[in-house]
């Protein structure tokens, strides 16, 4: 008590606390790791700018959070065993290492409550995870896909796991023939995917919901869908086609031959925009791969194909007539709008084909043909009306000219008689 009450001692404790509070954050904010690693050559290089972009850095984690050590110390002391330095995480240990935090729901909640924490569990069920368990060190681990030190959230379009970049990320291994040697799987998936309608939807139309590798294979639990589950994968988006296929005679036929549903006709990675020519007998024909030319199904397919072309032609004809009417200034917006119903009917018929039932496809086709007939009639009516107006115009112009000549003659007559002053 005496000490605390003497003049100098009264302020000694608060002053010491203040110095401590000021000094501790200053020291804790130091990151000597980047001072050295920023100046190193790859792969040891990690610059301050690079690390500042990393989501972990942005959430307040430092090098020491993963690598241990004391970033406030300069030189080798920072990487001493005493300071808890654990160095580079071995490739084989990466999934479990990341999982220390990412599988801890309570820990992750403080950063992002909606982030899933089952990535490690899923990874262990993936082909990557299972092969790693068998000792394969070449398979993908977290850092191969997500990167390291400049890791960005998947919503960032610059992230390697953003939907726009996923196919490219997977292709770094899966399109590399040399790297994939020994796995006995094709390496043309990326090339095929880049030629597919799905890739076009993703990159040209900017539709981020369009499928990429992980949509069908899963991400952390990546595995090729089995024959039985292909239709389940496709049906997540193509629900109507799937429902119709499920009820069709083809389901049992495909299953009995071990054929994997949708991909039999549409292929997998290189899914092209489906066209009516798939039902034809031309090079794009798919039915003829199994069906004998001239059999009952072949004839039905040929008839559906012809009717689809008929509806397409009817839509085109009505469009052409309505366009001429519209460019002539006729009001045909209602018929133009109704043309969409015909287009919808055509799309519906193309979907109904997956039922492989002639009468159901017919219903949609007939509905479309009926609408186009009405619209065509409206367009032709508008053109007749246009011609009628032009005739009316010619008659009225003649009448006006007659009146003008009459007036002119009358004025001359008046003025000859001296009416003007």
- Minimum CB distance to other proteins smaller for 16 or for 397: 397
Stretch that binds other proteins, among 188-196, 216-224, 265-273, 402-410 (CB under 8 A): 402-410
Q: Does 256 bind other proteins (CB under 8 A)?
A: no
43 cis-preceded (ω within 30 degrees of 0): yes
Q: Does 209 bind other proteins (CB under 8 A)?
A: no
Tokens describing residue 400: 């006006």
**Rounded to the nearest whole angstrom, what is the least distance from the CB of residue 414 to other proteins in the complex?**
7
- Minimum CB distance to other proteins smaller for 321 or for 353: 321
Q: Does 323 bind other proteins (CB under 8 A)?
A: no
Q: Which of 15, 24, 373, 407 binds other proteins (CB under 8 A)?
A: 407
Burial label for 346, CB within 10 Å (0-12, 13-18, 19+), is buried
| CA-angle at 325, arms to 322 and 327, nearest 5° | 110
d(CA 336, CA 312): 15
Q: Which helix (H) or strand (E) holds 179?
A: none
Question: Would residue 207 be called left, alpha or beta, if left means φ above 0 and alpha means ψ between -120 and 50 degrees?
Answer: beta
Q: Which of 32, 138, 414, 417 binds other proteins (CB under 8 A)?
A: 414
What is the distance between the terminal CA atoms of the chain, rounded to a whole angstrom? 131
Tokens describing residue 282: 């031309």
Is residue 286 within 8 A of residue 307, CB to CB? The reply is no
Question: Would residue 203 be called left, alpha or beta, if left means φ above 0 and alpha means ψ between -120 and 50 degrees?
Answer: alpha
Please give the C-alpha separations between residue 344 and each of 74, 243, 348, 364, 366, in angstroms, as whole numbers: 70, 19, 6, 9, 12
Query: What single DSSP character describes residue 41?
Result: P
Number of residues that bind other proteins (CB under 8 A): 24
d(CA 144, CA 136): 15
Stretch that binds other proteins, among 65-73, 147-155, 202-210, 387-395 (CB under 8 A): 387-395
Is residue 92 within 8 A of residue 190, CB to CB? The reply is no
Q: Which of 184, 256, 417, 421 binds other proteins (CB under 8 A)?
A: 421
Q: Which of 334, 359, 416, 417 binds other proteins (CB under 8 A)?
A: 334
Q: Which of 38, 396, 416, 417 binds other proteins (CB under 8 A)?
A: 396
Q: Which of 331, 340, 373, 384 binds other proteins (CB under 8 A)?
A: 331
Please, what's the largest Cα pairwise distance for the chain? Answer: 139
Is residue 322 within 8 A of residue 371, CB to CB? The reply is no
**Rounded to the nearest whole angstrom, what is the least distance from the CB of residue 403 to other proteins in the complex?**
6
**Rounded to the nearest whole angstrom, what is the least distance from the CB of residue 410 to other proteins in the complex?**
7
Q: Does 416 bind other proteins (CB under 8 A)?
A: no
Q: Does 397 bind other proteins (CB under 8 A)?
A: yes
Q: Does 418 bind other proteins (CB under 8 A)?
A: no
Q: Does 104 bind other proteins (CB under 8 A)?
A: no
Q: Which of 333, 340, 377, 384 binds other proteins (CB under 8 A)?
A: 333
Q: Which of 258, 329, 416, 417 binds other proteins (CB under 8 A)?
A: 329
Contact pattern for other proteins over residues 337 through 376, marking x by CB under 8 A: ----------------------------------------
Q: Which of 10, 100, 316, 408 binds other proteins (CB under 8 A)?
A: 408
Query: What single DSSP character describes residue 74?
Result: -
**Rounded to the nearest whole angstrom, what is the least distance from the CB of residue 386 to other proteins in the complex?**
9
- Minimum CB distance to other proteins smaller for 110 or for 417: 417
d(CA 349, CA 351): 5
- Minimum CB distance to other proteins smaller for 13 or for 398: 398
Name the residues that contact other proteins, by CB under 8 A: 329-331, 333-334, 389-390, 392-393, 396-397, 400-401, 403-404, 407-408, 410-411, 414-415, 419-421
């Amino acid at each position: 008590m005496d000490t605390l009450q003497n003049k100098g001692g009264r302020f000694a404790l608060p002053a010491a606390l203040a110095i401590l509070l000021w000094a501790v954050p200053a020291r804790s904010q130091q990151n000597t790791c980047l001072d050295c690693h920023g100046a190193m050559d790859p792969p040891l290089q990690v610059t301050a700018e690079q690390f500042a972009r990393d989501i972990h850095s942005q959430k307040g984690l430092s090098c020491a959070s993963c690598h241990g050590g004391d970033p406030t110390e300069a030189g080798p002391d920072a990487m001493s065993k005493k300071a808890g330095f654990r160095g580079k995480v071995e490739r084989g240990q990466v999934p479990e290492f990341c999982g220390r935090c990412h599988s801890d729901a309570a820990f992750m909640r403080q950063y992002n409550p909606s982030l899933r924490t089952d990535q490690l569990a899923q990874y262990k069920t993936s082909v990557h995870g299972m092969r790693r368990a068998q000792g394969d060190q070449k398979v993908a681990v977290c850092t191969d896909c997500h990167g390291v030190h400049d890791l960005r959230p998947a919503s960032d379009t610059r992230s390697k796991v953003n939907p726009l970049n996923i196919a490219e990320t997977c292709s770094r291994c899966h399109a590399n023939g040399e790297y994939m040697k020994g796995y006995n799987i094709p390496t043309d998936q990326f090339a095929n995917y880049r030629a597919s309608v799905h890739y076009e939807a993703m990159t040209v139309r900017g539709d981020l919901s369009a499928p990429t590798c992980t949509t069908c294979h899963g991400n952390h639990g990546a595995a090729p869908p089995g024959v039985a589950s292909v239709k389940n994968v496709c049906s997540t988006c193509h629900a109507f086609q799937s429902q119709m296929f499920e009820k069709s005679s083809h389901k049992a036929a495909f299953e009995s031959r071990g054929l994997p549903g949708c991909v039999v006709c549409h292929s997998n990675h290189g899914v092209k925009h489906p066209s009516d020519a798939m039902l034809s007998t031309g090079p794009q024909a798919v039915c003829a791969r199994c069906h004998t030319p001239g059999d009952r199904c072949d004839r039905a397919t040929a008839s559906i194909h012809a009717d689809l072309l008929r509806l397409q032609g009817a839509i085109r004809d009505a469009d052409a007539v309505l366009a001429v009417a519209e460019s002539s200034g006729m009001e045909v917006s209602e018929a133009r709008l109704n043309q969409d119903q015909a287009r919808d009917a055509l799309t519906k018929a193309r979907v109904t084909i997956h039922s492989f039932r002639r009468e159901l496809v017919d219903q949609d086709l007939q509905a479309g043909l009926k609408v186009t007939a009405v619209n065509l009639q409206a367009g032709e009516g508008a053109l007749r009306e246009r011609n009628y107006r032009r005739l009316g115009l010619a008659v009225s112009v003649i009448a006006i000219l007659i009146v003008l000549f009459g007036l002119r003659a009358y004025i001359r007559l008046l003025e000859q008689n001296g009416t003007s002053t």
